[in-house]
Amino acid sequence: MNNFDMRSASLAEITQLMHEIGEKPYRAGQIFGWLHEKFATGYDEMTNLPAALRAKLAQISGISPMECVRLQKSSDNATRKYLFNLQNNGIIDSKELYIETVLMKYRHGFSVCVSSQAGCRMGCDFCASGLTGLDRNLTAGEIAAQYYAVCRDIGQRVGNIVIMGSGEPLDNYDNVMRFISLISDEKGANVGARHITMSTCGIVPRIYDLAKENLQITLAVSLNAPNDQIRRKLMPIARKYDIDALLAACRAYADAKRRISFEYIMIDGVNDSEGNAKELARRLEGIKCHVNLIGANKVPEKGYNRSNAAVMARFAEILEKNGVDVTMRREMGGDISAACGQLRNEYRQ
């Protein structure tokens, strides 16, 4: 009980804790509301709890803190990038550990992009997140705390969440599922599942597991190639699960839940030819999906360059002519190292 992670706990678990320490059950609802509806960062903010109870809770349980050590704003004011330090969170860490969170402003409103791991072990060749490997998984409370910290900073609730920051969400499956349960609870932040998007590099068994969950989240699959030859060069996970196995899992998810979104990083001279576009269209035939074309971010350690605008436009045109729904993502936050892992790696150096 000494290391009870209060922010990661469900209402039922907090209720059980109240029973164990001899408190009334309704106190659990108050605590849960303070954490997940009012975004409290400490027990001292829970003013409707007796001082004695607050002191007791501080002794037996922790609340995942989010210390913002750097905040960067894009020149167009459409993107904010937060660097959080998890040091001495009272539950796990005794060393400095950094994660990133990004706030993005679109025409339809704000979205918060949260990290699910500190670092990443997937090793995708175009991504900065995995340059230093995986430090550890984040708890459900730590994932939620990123969203809450951003909402507190801007003074309003954000209606959309994307789990696309550092880390592979399906590699931290249990904590991410618990996070979604907490963040969508009507007694908490109440962010509907249809307003949550999760990205994955393609851990096939977990995609099937996710399809069995009673969730209506959007699944975004980082595809990035029309065939195994290219994909295996870019993404080590493709050496374990080939593209046919991955697309079969995606088809099953789309049939069981909702349309799949395929993320396609456009890299100059690697995966952006007209032949690549035609092959991709053939691969995706019959899958209820949408393709999001994304210009590769500059990662100095990797040496890749993004495809130019004309090449991306031609690639999109070919997909559309072959019946594939496609968009080109506009660049956001390039002037503040907003891509996954960039700011974290700069700070660690």
Quick check: helix, strand or coil at residue 171? helix
Q: Active-site residue among 13, 67, 100, 124?
A: 100
How big is the CA angle at 224 (ends 305 and 346), to the nearest 5 degrees? 50
Beta strand 67-73 with 98-106: parallel, antiparallel or unpaired? unpaired
Cβ–Cβ < 8 Å for 46, 31: yes
Cβ–Cβ < 8 Å for 197, 215: no
Cβ–Cβ < 8 Å for 98, 69: yes
Q: Active-site residue among 151, 285, 340, 346?
A: 340
Length of the chain: 349
Instruction: Pinpoint the alpha helices (H) of the chain.
Output: 11-20, 26-36, 51-60, 140-154, 173-183, 204-212, 228-234, 243-256, 274-283, 309-321, 342-348
100 is annotated as an active-site residue: yes
φ and ψ at residue 174, rounded to 5 degrees:
-65, -45
113 is annotated as an active-site residue: no
Beta strand 117-119 with 134-137: parallel, antiparallel or unpaired? antiparallel
Residue of 211, 213, 234, 209 lying closest to 222 (CA atoms): 234
Q: How many whole angstroms separate alpha carbon 96 and alpha carbon 86?
A: 6
Q: Which residues touch 194 (CB under 8 Å, ≥6 apart)? A: 216, 217, 218
Amino acid at 198: M
Give catalytic residue positions: 100, 340
